[in-house]
Amino acid sequence: MRLTLATLLRHWRRMPLQLGLMIAGLALATALWSAVQAINGEARASYARAVEQLGSAQLPALTAPDGHIPLATYVSLRRAGWQLSPVLEGRWSPGRRPVTLMGVDVLSHPVTAAMAAAEAEADPDAPPFATVMQRETLFAHPDHLPDLAGSGYRLLPLPHLPPDVVIGDLALVATLLDRPDALTRLLILPEQPTGLTPLAELAPNLRVGRVQDGVAGDPQRLTRSFHLNLSAFGLLSFAVGLFIVQGSVTLGLEQRRGQIQTLRCLGVPLSQLMLALAIELVVFALVAGLIGLVIGYGLAGLLLPDVTATLRGLYGAPVDGELTLRPGWVLSGLAMSVGGTLLAGTQAFLALRRMARSLSQAPVSGARRGAHHWLRLAAGGLVLMGLGTLIGGIWPGLLTGFVWLAGLMVGAALLLPALLHAASHLIPTGPDSPLRAWLIADSRLQLPGLSLSLMALCLAVATNIGVGTMVSSFRLTFVDWIDQRLLADLYVQPETETMEAELMHWAQQAGVRALPRYQIDSRSGNAPLRLFGITDDPRYAEEWPLLRSQPDVWTRLFDQGEILINEQLAHRQGLSPGSVVELAPGWSARVAGVYADYGNPDGQAYMSIDAMRDREMPMTLSQIGLVAPAGTSIEDLAQELRAALALPPGAVIRRDAIRATSTAIFDRTFVVTGALNVLTLAVAGFAMLTSFLSQWSRRLPQLSPLWAMGVTRRQLALCEVLRSLGFAAGTFLLALPLGLLLAWILLAHINLEAFGWRVPMTLFPDDWLRLFALTLLAAAVAALGPATRLLRLSPARLLGVFSHDR
Amino acid sequence: MRQDIGTRGFLLLLRVQDLTRRYPGQTRAVLQGAGFELDRGESVALTGESGSGKSTLLHMLAALDQPDAGQILLDGADISRLDDRSASAVRRRRIALVFQHFNLIPALTVAENIALHARLGKCHEAEWTNHLAERMGLADLMRRYPEQISGGQQQRVAIARALALRPDVLLADEPTGNLDEYASEEVLRLMLELVSEAGSALLLVTHSQQIAARCQRHLHLSGGQITEGACA
């Protein structure tokens, strides 16, 4: 066995380039996959830590339909022997930004341990919970502490808390929220005495369920689409890398046909050859896997800051910016590498089996594929595309959306060689162009060997077009949306009611129209719902386009108590203009219109400030927009306002500054997507290069006779480049519609499932041209190596093909 | 059509003078001042031991390789020092090769393979090509691919491909070396008949004295020199 393996491995000493390319391909694929997994793993670990810090995720809780549990109910349940931990939660505005304030019972809530640790770190000599019990201390995410500086309380950091959640003792929070005798929920602690009266009897109006602490919600749920997206990218890159491995392994076997024949003649059984091949592949996979993990770790380190920014900015999800080396990640990366290599080697195993049984079979007979082969492949592709569409169409959902995408992409990849084969028959070849006729016929012969790398290229280009179109369409819509939503020229967030009054007074005196916006945080359909109250102003009707609306929508809003809801709330609850929606327990309103909202995944509703005031719920002023009178300089107005109210420069924000910041955040959000896009294309280009180089050794006997017939090496080299360009162009032509379909699914279905909004699709032909040029460039670069080799090839090498007797 | 073969000196086609070729790293030159002449329409056999330089000589005659010294005059023009472009043009229009291992183009059908060289040389005559295919017994195999026909049939395709050009010189390197006795005899017979019909000169490299005896003249290569052998 050892000798068989050593003999087989010896081949690679003569083929260092081929071996290097195979290892590099697999390492690159593993690197991208493991980088994505490292990022996902880090994010998930951060979410888990956050949940662990809050400690309540695993515990069932009692909640009331109206969100308020009377303190007396809690007391009666405790008296009945139930071990419960009370939680009070609400929105609190200590500074400019409202936060979720969570009051817990420090003796029973699971977050206690983290609070005690933070307190001990701040003051090692103090007895545990001394300051908490004295109602002086609040805990928040370290990044959020500066915003709370003016609250007047002692602030301690709890790094894994969600950014806008503040925790404190129950009594302190009850005071701050002015809700002394109400609770939001009661956590049912794990250890309960036996023989208790059932909760359903003691408190029939309360429901038992699992409720996540903190209005920010479950980060795992919110960010699921983001991580699924990253994983899909990683898997795509890995699959593209496997095409490289598949090509190299099969070629390596083909090259050792003589060696295998000899070994078989010397009595080596097929099973031993199979085992030797398997060991060879596993060794390569482990080496490449380790290299890939090192590269992947570095790549993840580079991308993580942008991912962290995205997750915090877009979803408010807490993620540490530091990467941790996890044994599970290393093992799964290696397993992926080994598993993928063995999968990619399946064809090689089958080829070895065939080879060992029929040694006289000429290699080329295995390479030529008849029309029926391509038809079978195309039929398989069409079936996959149909199945994917069927699944995605019948069962709408995030996961089935990705299944739809996968079905379309793999199906189209299988369709590609058949289409290229068919297209080659459409190119006219007259008797006057024998070289063209040969080039086309030879391209058909090369197609089986190149088809995998072309499929990889097709997937990479389609992904590039699809994701590029999605991001660009989204960006265009987002920027447009920002412009429409920023109705005022200046924005101010008053910190106190006095300041609010002063500001409104100043605006009246200066002839400036003020657009104040108040807010209430509520829940609807067991999901967070933010309500905004606005004053009547013609600018809303003039500049705020709605997706769907009732006639006289603005009159209905300001005079008839109807509301506008965002698209995600409409989608989630199946609402449309005319529907009635529950805004809070006992408070419903009719929907007058639906507006686009790309700023957050949660539900929102707009109503008149009078309708909001009627409810007598605690509301906060979120901002005041100021519309500069015609002909007034916005900058002068801002300066005047700052001077009049003695505001710091940062307190008055110009519309264009908000627009610039929002756009910058948006762009940063898609840095990772862009990077993965480019990397996938690079891997596909690399796959093409390895295919061409792998085919190189087979090409000489096919090219030498032509040279002997008077075709110059320059002409042959040009043919190689032209073939590569032709294949790439053909591949692009299929990838373009596929990419657009991908974009449509991403925009109209995946986005809808993930965020609840649909983004109109815009076409960007300039981007396609750029990508087409890039694809041709990648193909030209990939073919340039073999072409240059051919150009520089000494006649002796070409003659070697004919010199059998020397 | 070319003129029929006349007297030898008048119709001289190829003159090889003082040809020397040494491979890098080898002390002995494989060809050392070799020379011979080939008339139009003449068939000449070249024999020699393995490694004597027969194939090397053939490659230089086809302008595939260049000598270290000496001249190869084709109709009086030296083709031994041509650049790649000019050498390719000579091969495309005037010289054809047949190899022991056939060297057909796997991507092309039998019909396309046969027509390829003539088309590259821009002198394809469909009638002549069909005639060759008919004579070679390939008419029913025209749509097949090389790997779908036997070795003997492949070599007949290679010969037809070479003759479709009506080359001035057909250089054949052990054309029957890979065939069994029956196929070998059949292929040789057809080749000699069709070379004559095409009006081409033939230089046939072979190990077999029997095959050499079927040609009009016999040259022998030994020690880097060419000597005149017995005529058939």
A112 with A259, same domain: the answer is no
Is A714 in Cβ contact with B103 (below 8 Å)?
no
A241-255, A296-310, A403-417, B195-209 — which is least confidently predicted? A241-255
Residue A216 confidence class, pLDDT cut points 50, 70, 90 = very low
Q: Per the domain annotation, does A635 fall within a domain? A: no
A321 with A470, same domain: the answer is yes
A213 with A232, same domain: the answer is no
d(CA A83, CA A108): 9
Q: Per the domain annotation, does B34 fall within a domain? A: no
Residue A708 confidence class, pLDDT cut points 50, 70, 90 = confident
A801 CB near a chain B CB, below 8 Å? yes
**Which chain A positions have a beta carbon within 8 Å of B174's beta carbon?**
804-805
A281 with A139, same domain: the answer is no
A711 CB near a chain B CB, below 8 Å? yes
A339 with A436, same domain: the answer is yes
Q: Per the domain annotation, does A389 fall within a domain? A: yes
Q: Per the domain annotation, does B209 fall within a domain? A: yes
Q: How many domains does chain B have?
A: 1
Is B51 in Cβ contact with A710 (below 8 Å)?
no
Considering A175, A198, A217, which residue would you say is the last residue of a domain? A217
Q: Per the domain annotation, does A391 fall within a domain? A: yes
Q: How open is the CA angle A486-A487-A490, to the nearest 5 degrees?
A: 75
Q: Per the domain annotation, does B128 fall within a domain? A: yes
Residue A804 DSSP code? -
Tokens 């197609």 belong to A447
Interface test with A, best of B31, B105, B143, B154 (most A CBs within 10 A): B105
Q: From start to end of A112-228, where are the E strands?
A: 137-140, 154-157, 165-169, 182-183, 185-188, 207-209
Q: Per the domain annotation, does B145 fall within a domain? A: yes
Whole-model pTM: value is: 0.67
| Residue A313 vs residues A90, A249, A293, A599: alpha-carbon distances, Å | 22, 45, 29, 10
3-state secondary structure of A533: strand
Is A438 in Cβ contact with B124 (below 8 Å)?
no
**Which chain A positions have a beta carbon within 8 Å of B26's beta carbon?**
none
d(CA B201, CA B134): 22
- Give Cβ neighbours of residue A79 (< 8 Å, ≥ 6 apart): none
A794 CB near a chain B CB, below 8 Å? no
Considering A200, A217, A234, which residue would you say is the last residue of a domain? A217
Q: Per the domain annotation, does A613 fall within a domain? A: yes
A15 with A71, same domain: the answer is no
A332 with A473, same domain: the answer is yes
**Which chain B positions have a beta carbon within 8 Å of A438's beta carbon?**
105, 107-108, 112, 116
Residue B33 has a pLDDT of: 92
A623 with A515, same domain: the answer is yes
**Which chain B positions have a beta carbon within 8 Å of A711's beta carbon?**
88, 92, 120
Is B103 in Cβ contact with A704 (below 8 Å)?
yes
Residue B38 has a pLDDT of: 92
Closest by Cβ to B100, choosing from A708, A711, A804: A804
Q: At what angle do helices B110-120 and A434-485 cross, to 10 degrees?
A: 100
Is A444 in Cβ contact with B84 (below 8 Å)?
no
Residue A635 has a pLDDT of: 84
Q: Per the domain annotation, does A118 fall within a domain? A: yes
Q: Per the domain annotation, does A100 fall within a domain? A: yes
A514 with A559, same domain: the answer is yes
A68 with A133, same domain: the answer is yes
Residue A361 confidence class, pLDDT cut points 50, 70, 90 = very low
3-state secondary structure of A69: strand
- Give Cβ neighbours of residue A671 (< 8 Å, ≥ 6 apart): A303, A306, A310
Residue A527 has a pLDDT of: 72
Residue B44 has a pLDDT of: 94
Antiparallel, parallel or unpaired: β A207-209 and A99-104: unpaired
d(CA A708, CA B97): 7
pLDDT tens sequence across B69-107: 999 999 989 999 988 788 888 988 899 989 888 788 877
d(CA A185, CA A732): 57
Distance from CA of A707 to the nearest CA of B (A): 7
Q: How many domains does chain A have?
A: 3
Domain range enclosing B172? 42-52+84-228
Residue A577 confidence class, pLDDT cut points 50, 70, 90 = very high
Query: In three state form, how does the secondary structure of A561-584 look?
Result: CCEEEEHHHHHHHCCCCCCEEEEE
Which of A395-409, A565-579, A789-803 is most confident? A565-579
A270 with A333, same domain: the answer is yes
Q: Per the domain annotation, does A642 fall within a domain? A: no
Distance from CA of A709 to the nearest CA of B (A): 5
pLDDT tens sequence across A61-97: 787 766 678 888 888 888 888 888 888 887 777 765 6
Residue B100 has a pLDDT of: 82
Averaged pLDDT, groups of 10, chain B, 232 residues long: 43 91 81 92 91 87 89 93 86 88 82 88 90 92 89 90 92 85 85 90 91 91 85 40
Q: What CATH number corresponds to the domain at position B97?
A: 3.40.50.300
What percentage of chain A's residues is helix, strand, coil (to nearest 5)? 65, 15, 25
B115 CB near a chain A CB, below 8 Å? yes
- Check if the interface score ipTM surpasses 0.85: no
Is A712 in Cβ contact with B105 (below 8 Å)?
no
Domain range enclosing A498? 490-627
A459 with A504, same domain: the answer is no
Q: Per the domain annotation, does B19 fall within a domain? A: no
Closest by Cβ to B64, choosing from A362, A795, A804: A795
Question: Looking at the predicted structure, is the pLDDT value of residue A266 above 70?
Answer: no
Q: Per the domain annotation, does B21 fall within a domain? A: no
B145 CB near a chain A CB, below 8 Å? yes
Q: Per the domain annotation, does A765 fall within a domain? A: yes
Considering A169, A193, A217, which residue would you say is the last residue of a domain? A217
Closest by Cβ to A712, choosing from B54, B84, B121: B84
